[in-house]
């Protein structure tokens, strides 16, 4: 385990705890402690909830939660209910006073975050939101992933794609900086290529972050041929069919725009990508030994005719 990383995370936790005032006696200047406020929020958000479900969501000891809920009951904020499926199940719901407390806490939370964001410029706010969504996606195993949207790239994203792919392929295959330099040239070629013959680039976005991309360019020196280039999917986002959707988008674009065939260059060690190409209908037409990116590789040319 990386001691520096552990120290970085602990420092961030202390900072965020201080910025949000989580250790203050009255959470968000209300009469409630943080634990009480979280219980009110969970019950208000999810409706009637069982004692066990509430303990699981809050990661609280059952005995401690019982004492906390007794207090909230005495304050008139929650009342005990029985489960609809099992009348023996004990649960909780907000009273009218509890609903008012929930609305007060919800508004105070929004105001607290707005005050945190107010000094930041738009770029800093966007970067902060993206970083937090990324942290949530990595750490929250129960959080369902949002829908994947394929869209055109935006200003600044070509540099991001170069950065991420350079790192991902280094981590996965040990490829050196030569690969990063190569793809920087490919994206530059794409951006400055004329619109005819047709070209296109798609970014896969999920939960506000980039999780993949792909592009189509006309094959150099091969009239009527399109080139599938730069297929990439974030490791954490794999297994959702994103790569398959990107490849399908490319193939459909080439076919619909009158190309006679589509080609691509890959390597035998890129097993996941090769499965996608084969499933889409590509086949290998050439294999050649290479020394690229600091490695001895077997390069492959795949092709599909329309």
1-55 per-position pLDDT tens digit: 788 999 999 999 999 888 888 888 788 888 898 899 999 999 999 878 888 888 8
- For residue 174, count other CB atoms closer than 10 A to its CB: 11
Question: Which of the pair, 287 or 90, is modelled with greater confidence?
Answer: 287
pLDDT category at 305 given cuts 50, 70, 90 is very high
Give the Cα-Cα-Cα angle 128, 112, 108 (nearest 5 degrees).
140
- Tell me the mean pLDDT in the region 190-203: 96
- What residues form DSSP beta bridges with 229? 215
Give the per-residue pLDDT at 83: 57
Where residue 293 falls (left for φ over 0; alpha for ψ -120 to 50; beta otherwise) is: left
Give the per-residue pLDDT at 47: 79
Q: Is the peptide bond before 90 cis (omega within 30 degrees of 0)?
A: no
Give the per-residue pLDDT at 88: 57
Give the Cα-Cα-Cα angle 125, 204, 164 (nearest 5 degrees).
70
- Cβ–Cβ under 8 Å, residues 297 and 267: yes
pTM score over 0.75: no
Report percent pLDDT > 90 for the chain: 70
Give the per-residue pLDDT at 3: 86
End-to-end CA distance of the chain: 51
CB-based contacts of 266, cutoff 8 Å, min separation 6:
273, 274, 277, 299, 300, 302
- 60-64, 94-98, 189-193, 222-226, range with the lowest pLDDT: 60-64
Of 137, 48, 128, residue with least CA distance to 93: 48
Question: Which of the pair, 23 or 269, is modelled with greater confidence?
Answer: 269
Residue 218 in 3-state DSSP? strand
69-108 per-position pLDDT tens digit: 899 999 999 998 765 555 555 688 999 999 999 999 999 9
- For residue 266, count other CB atoms closer than 10 A to its CB: 21
Provide the H-helix boundaries in the chain.
3-19, 34-46, 51-58, 62-74, 96-117, 122-139, 157-173, 177-192, 242-256, 271-280
Give the per-residue pLDDT at 127: 85
Q: How far apart are CA 160 and CA 131, in angstroms?
A: 14
Give the per-residue pLDDT at 85: 53
- Tell me the mean pLDDT in the region 127-143: 82
Average model confidence (pLDDT) for the chain?
91
- Farthest-apart Cα atoms in the chain, separation: 80
Residue 199 in 3-state DSSP? coil
pLDDT at 150 over 60: yes
What one-character-per-residue DSSP string does 34-53 give? HHHHHHHHHHHHH-SEEHHH
Give the per-residue pLDDT at 60: 87
Give the per-residue pLDDT at 51: 85
pLDDT category at 290 given cuts 50, 70, 90 is very high
- Domains within the chain, CATH numbers bracketed: 3-119 (1.10.10.10), 148-305 (3.40.630.30)
pLDDT at 274 over 80: yes
């Amino acid at each position: 385990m990386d001691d520096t990383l552990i120290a970085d995370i602990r420092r961030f936790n202390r900072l965020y705890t201080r910025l949000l005032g989580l250790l203050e006696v009255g959470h968000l200047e209300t009469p409630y402690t943080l634990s009480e406020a979280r219980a009110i929020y969970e019950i208000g958000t999810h409706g009637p909830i069982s004692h066990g479900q509430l303990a699981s969501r809050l990661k609280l000891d059952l005995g401690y939660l019982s004492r906390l809920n007794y207090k909230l009951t005495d304050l008139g904020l929650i009342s005990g209910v029985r489960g609809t499926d099992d009348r023996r199940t004990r649960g909780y719901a907000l009273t009218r006073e509890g609903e008012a407390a929930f609305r007060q806490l919800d508004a105070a939370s929004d105001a607290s975050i707005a005050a945190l964001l107010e000094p930041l410029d738009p770029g800093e706010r966007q970067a902060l939101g993206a970083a937090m969504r990324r942290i949530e996606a990595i750490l929250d195993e129960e959080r369902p992933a949002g829908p994947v949207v394929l869209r055109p790239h935006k200003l600044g994203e070509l540099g991001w794609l170069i950065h991420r792919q350079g790192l991902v392929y280094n981590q996965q295959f040990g490829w050196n900086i030569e690969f990063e330099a190569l793809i920087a040239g490919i994206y530059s070629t794409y951006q400055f290529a004329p619109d005819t013959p047709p070209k296109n680039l798609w970014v896969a976005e999920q939960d506000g972050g980039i999780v993949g991309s792909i592009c189509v360019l006309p094959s150099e020196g091969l009239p009527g041929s399109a080139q599938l280039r730069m297929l990439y999917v974030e490791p954490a986002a794999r297994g959702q069919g994103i790569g398959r959707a990107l490849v399908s988008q490319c193939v459909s674009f080439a076919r619909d725009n009158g190309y006679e065939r589509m080609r691509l260059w890959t390597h035998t060690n890129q097993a996941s990508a090769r499965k996608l190409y084969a499933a889409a209908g590509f086949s290998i037409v050439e294999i050649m030994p290479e020394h690229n990116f600091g490695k001895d590789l077997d390069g492959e040319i795949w092709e599909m005719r329309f």
